[in-house]
Structure 1
Amino acid sequence: MIDWKEIASYVIILIIVLIAAQHLNVVVSGSMEPAFYRGDIVLVEKANFLGINEFNPEDVQVGDVVVYDAAWFEQPVIHRIINITDINGTTMYVIKGDNNKSPDPYYVTSDQIRERVVTSGDNLVVIPKIGYLSIWLRGL
């Protein structure tokens, strides 16, 4: 006999896990050390998650750590906003990895910002080390 309540509970758990997984990013480089390290996982909020705006990319501030589509790299980049400037009426962000000597090579617009790392108080929400399995499986 089919237990529909049990099946429904498994479906609900699966949906929750899939939603949660969409809000976790594996760190693949050391560019943000010591804020977080390669193999750590960061909790993010999304600019657009299934039509829901969890934050507005136009409201990011200096000090926020964001995930953006970089013009200079084929994968999304997780770095910190270090300056905000206006160029010909467009707000532009200067972004840099904490462990990098210089800022990223191009200005970033709010349209490129996809996610922001969640903070608790003044601390980034980081789950240490458990992303190594994902890095290994992807060959990174």
Structure 2
Amino acid sequence: MTDWKEIASYAVILIIVLIAAQHLNVVVSGSMEPAFYRGDIVLVEKADFFGIHEFDVKDIQKGDVVVYDAKWFNQPVIHRVIDIVSINGTTMYMIKGDNNKSPDPYYVSPDQIQSKVVTIGDNLVVIPKIGYLSLWLRGL
């Protein structure tokens, strides 16, 4: 017979894995090279993780790398904030992939920003190449 401590330990492990999975994003394109590459995984903090605000979008600065809901693409985009402007009293972000010639086609509003890539010092937290399996499974 399975003991309740064993069941509880499995439940704790499952919760930890699910929380960790929500804080990892697989990079699907080369638009941010050389900061990170297709198939890399980036560690993110969430603007709203089940009601917990791990960072305040108002604190986003030029140079931060964010994950946002793009109006021009059907998946979240991971790009760098290159400018912050006020348009009709609303803070808006100009965002661009490091490897792209032009900024993304539309300004990004604060409510579009889902996550921010974690940095340690000035270094983005990147786990190289292990996201390829996820890309292959999703057909990307």
TM-score by length of 1: 0.98
Cα distance per residue 1:36-78 (max 9 Å; x no partner): 0000000000000011000111210000000001111111100
Cα RMSD, aligned residues only? 0.6
- Describe how 1:51-130 pairs up with structure 2 within 5 A: 51-130=51-130
Shift of the alpha carbon at 1:2? 2.4
Structure 2 unaligned regions, length at least 5: none
What is residue 32 of structure 1 aligned with on the other side?
32
Q: Which whole-Å CA distance do the structure 2 matches of 1:2 and 1:120 have between them?
A: 42
What is residue 11 of structure 1 aligned with on the other side?
11
Look up the SS of the partner of 1:63 in the other structure: coil
What is the percentage of aligned positions where both structures have the same residue? 82
- Tell me if 1:49 matches 2:49: yes
TM-score by length of 2: 0.98
Which moved further from structure 2: 82-91 or 23-32? 82-91
Structure 1 unaligned regions, length at least 5: none
What is residue 132 of structure 1 aligned with on the other side?
132
Q: Which whole-Å CA distance do the structure 1 matches of 2:88 and 2:49 have between them?
A: 30
Q: Which whole-Å CA distance do the structure 1 matches of 2:60 and 2:95 have between them?
A: 12
